[in-house]
Structure 1
Amino acid sequence: MNYKLQSMTEKNNTPPQKILLVRTDRLGDVVLSTPAIKIIKDNFPSASISFLCQPSTREVLEGNPYLDEVIICDKYGKHRNIPGLCRLIWSIRRKKFDWAIILHPTNRVHIIAFLAGIPLRIGWDKKSAFLLTRKLPHLKHKGIKHESEYNLDILKELGLTITSPCFYFPNKESATQKVNLLLQKQKALSKKLVAVHPSASCASKRWPQIKFIRLIRLIKNDFPDVIIALLTSEKESQFADKIAEEKEILDLRGKLSIPEIGALLKKSILFISNDSGPVHISAALDTPVISIFGRNDPGISPRRWKPLGRDCFYLKEETGCQPCLAHNCTKNFLCLQTLTAERVYSLAKKIISSSSVETINSDTPL
């Protein structure tokens, strides 16, 4: 193989025929990247578009009408060692992509795109970025704009015409049928549903269980007919153990696939969650969402990670911690501790009581 840096396709003024989008981080990150797929297709209707992701996010992408192929990079499984990684690189190399658009920088994906011989490799100036043929200054840690806007910056650098971002989440009939059956068994199919997601990937993002319990009791007291559905992944179910002990809780922890979570959220009148991936699924499905934020560091703040869309809100307490130490916090996550259930309920009550909350400004914290 010839691994020398190759000239960019754009120098030949040849429209790309095969484009590889790359994002191998988490669920919400991939949901926020889905507008890029349609924008690329709008600019290059005849091009074949593939997406390289990790196994846990493939279901976000499968069924996307603007996507031709999903390729899996299983860095903790079959691609974790050099032989496995080489097999992945070789399989990508044989596809002869013209462009690799890398939305999130890692050493691994930069190496993959380089060794796969993709002529144009664009991404961020971080993590072995010398392997790229074109790069943008990496300023995401400053949190100047939303993550979805950073994704569009790469497309703008390529000269693409940018249309209004349209987030996509697949609507799978099999997932809808399973959720309907599940709700029917619980005699909840025709009732109002409020979904709650108290887990998150980091302790600095997890509002205390006792506050979720207080919130649920407030909801049930004023809206006794509302069904509370409790969601977490299987490995994060312990973060909701105490909540699951509450009366009349529909405990769905670890029981739903990603498409099934989407089907449940589509049926919900409200989703209340910590800052996590399902927040962005809810936003993509136009289900009202309240996202609870704690951390004050610009790169992990609501400015960069809040849910986007109609009836999307976030709540956050300003505690004046400078600098924010995030998961290394020495103040027992004061920002989360000081956010009261009553404040969250005040907003939740408005949403539950009304079929529309257009009068509330969703671009600012409440």
Structure 2
Amino acid sequence: MDISSLNIKKILIIDLAFIGDVILATPLTRAVREHWPTAEITMLTVPLTEEIAQMNPYVDGTIVYDKRGAHRGLSGMWSIARELRRYKFDLAVCVNFALRGAVVAWLARIPYRLGYDAQHGGLFLTWAASHIRKGIKHETENHLEVLEPIGLSTKDLSMRLIPPEKAISSMEEKYGRYGIEKGQYYVVCPLGSYERKNMPMPMAAQLIRELSKKLPVYLIGGKGEKIELDGYAKAGSLPDGHVFAGTLSLQELAVFIQNAAGLATVDTGPMHIAQAVNCPTAAIFGPTDPKVWGPRNENSSYLYSNEPCSPCWGKGECKDNICIKKFKAKDLYEKL
């Protein structure tokens, strides 16, 4: 079937993964937009990542699939599928390996459905791409593989987010409230999605102290990381009010990172946000592979010791976390 011969006017991109994954799918959405410049492109996301998808310049709108709440279970899947039918999408692109996206697209009666063959997803798809990755390459390139069955790609692999005016205005108010000068502060994100990604506290504390000699330093993280981040701030001798733990929306966070002099981080969502808003970034990697997940912008770099046991995704038998601990604060400081 020749995709160019089809009358595609409304496209649904289904991405039900995490913050970083939705950002890393930017080249995929760009490729779709380049091929169908006048189509209406909507992204189906989970509640957490809706704000991220709304900043994607190649997406016209978002729909939320609350798979752990209002759309939980099989009845919830039927419910979201019925909702999607009303939009009369012509094409669905299922970005993730999980079967859920392909099933929802099928239940929504979207006539053309593209996705991966993982977990028998091909049974519900018009075109199925192989889930077996073709070598080790960056995740932005991996995402593009789902488009291969219909012959689409893009030469521009950059990530891009554009914060909305409401987030910019909101951050302007916060800058005034906290006495923060745009472009004159560093951001440090020391905690990842699991413990073995984290910066050791002695390293982070020394990094904070060194950066603070040049510009004010602010720590960022999730609401549930507040106590731990307060400990990092205390160890680094930061004054009160220099920890933002779940106090900024994701769109405000994008503005905050965009206006920073630089970000020092572990492998986590804010690192990908920084790449998408072109903030200079220095990242430290251990249990994950920077060739797949690392920063790629010309103003960014990373540290990676390439231990024989890495990447282990935090599931290895190592108890010393040597892949992270072998680096010193000065190593990351010099990178930044």
Taking structure 2 as the reference length, what is the TM-score of the superposition? 0.91
Q: How does 1:313-332 map to 2 (within 5 A)?
A: 313-321=301-309, 324=312, 326-332=314-320
Q: Is 1:291–1:314's contact at 8 Å kept on the other side of the alignment?
A: yes
Q: Is 1:199–1:237's contact at 8 Å kept on the other side of the alignment?
A: no
Match of residue 204, structure 1, among 182, 185, 196 = 196
Say how many residue pairs are matched: 332
Paired with 2:318 and 2:135, the residues of 1 have a C-alpha distance of: 23
Q: Which residue of 2 aligns with 1:184?
A: 176
Match of residue 232, structure 1, among 209, 212, 221 = 221
Q: How does 1:1-366 map to 2 (within 5 A)?
A: 10=2, 13-62=5-54, 64-129=56-121, 130-140=123-133, 144-160=136-152, 162-189=154-181, 192-221=184-213, 223=214, 226-245=215-234, 246-248=237-239, 250-295=242-287, 300-321=288-309, 324=312, 326-348=314-336
Q: Is 2:194–2:314's contact at 8 Å kept on the other side of the alignment?
A: no
Cα deviation digits, residues 278-317 of structure 1 (max 9, x gap):
111111111101111111xxxx411111122221211112
SS at the partner of 1:135?
Answer: strand
Q: 1:90 to 1:258 in 2, by over 3 A?
A: same
Q: Compute the displacement of 1:77 (Å).
A: 0.6
Aligned Cα RMSD in Å? 2.2
Paired with 1:28 and 1:275, the residues of 2 have a C-alpha distance of: 10
Moved more, 234-243 or 304-313: 234-243
Q: Compute the displacement of 1:37 (Å).
A: 2.2
Q: Compute the displacement of 1:178 (Å).
A: 2.6
Paired with 2:239 and 2:313, the residues of 1 have a C-alpha distance of: 38
Percent identity, aligned pairs only, is: 29
Q: Compute the displacement of 1:263 (Å).
A: 0.9
Paired with 1:57 and 1:191, the residues of 2 have a C-alpha distance of: 26
Q: Compute the displacement of 1:105 (Å).
A: 1.5
Q: Is 2:168–2:255's contact at 8 Å kept on the other side of the alignment?
A: yes
Taking structure 1 as the reference length, what is the TM-score of the superposition? 0.84
Paired with 1:268 and 1:343, the residues of 2 have a C-alpha distance of: 20
Cα deviation digits, residues 205-256 of structure 1 (max 9, x gap):
21222211111112224x2xx0101100112334423112223361112210
Moved more, 25-34 or 106-115: 106-115
Q: Is 1:191–1:227's contact at 8 Å kept on the other side of the alignment?
A: no
Q: Specify every segment of 5 or more residues in structure 1 that has no aligned partner in the other structure, as ranges.
A: 1-7, 349-366
SS at the partner of 1:213?
Answer: helix
